[in-house]
Amino acid sequence: MDKDELTGWALANGWQMIGGNPCLTKPRAPKEAIVRMVLKATVVNIEVKKPAGKWEKMSGEAYGKIVADPDTGLPRGLGLETITGFTMLMQDNKDRMVFAKMTGKI
């Protein structure tokens, strides 16, 4: 997967652009990013915001080593499937976006 494919996947799966990066937000504070995907020239990093406000790299991989899961589309190689609570956070963000579109409150 390349930068554009990862961005497209992220935006279709509950991520939103905050500060130029695809991000997941807190369930109770939907404007505050707590997970971000930093797309660099040759690699992508997944970073998590610590309670003190500092970003910590959780995983990273070169674009050439990231492939989409044929069943779910989830990018393999970044460890997204193994990070505890990640899939639930992503689903919460996706659900919030769907319901916001239904009510017109984005």
Q: What is the mean pLDDT of residues 53-57?
A: 94
Total number of domains constituting the chain: 1
pLDDT of residue 102: 67
Is the pLDDT at 84 greater than 80? The verdict is: no
Find the mean pLDDT for residues 92-104.
76
**How far apart (Å, rounded) are the C-alpha atoms in residues 5 and 92?**
22
pLDDT in tens, 1-32: 999 999 999 998 889 999 999 999 987 777 88
Structure-token pair, residue 71: 């069943």
Nearest to 1 by CA among 83, 48, 61, 57: 61
Phi/psi of residue 72, each to 5°?
Answer: -100, -20
Query: What is the average pLDDT value for the chain, to the nearest integer?
Result: 87
pTM: 0.82
Could you tell me the residue range of the domain that residue 85 belongs to?
3-100
Instruction: Please indicate, yes or no, if residue 106 is contained in any of the structural domains.
Output: no
